[in-house]
Amino acid sequence: MQQLYPVWRACPDPLTIYDEVTFPDGPPHRPYVVINMVSTVDGKVTTGRGTIREPIGSKVDH
């Protein structure tokens, strides 16, 4: 596995990607929202051992 952003580095253990994740302090008296998004070229995801391809979204997303 490779980390491509913000700089390239090899990641032999995928969980090390999260070692440097930090979040700045939010503004006082304001909600703080963090979002994680995923996109694909064909809109599908492979689960298990690559035998199942399913849409990554649902009717709610479209």
Q: For 54, what's the count of Cα atoms within 13 Å in the CB-facing half-sphere?
A: 6
pLDDT of residue 7: 79
Confidence of residue 6 (pLDDT cuts 50, 70, 90): confident
Tokens of 7: 């700089």
What phi and psi values does residue 59 have, to the nearest 5 degrees? -60, -30
pLDDT of residue 62: 59
Question: What is the DSSP code (8-state) at residue 3?
Answer: E
pTM: 0.33
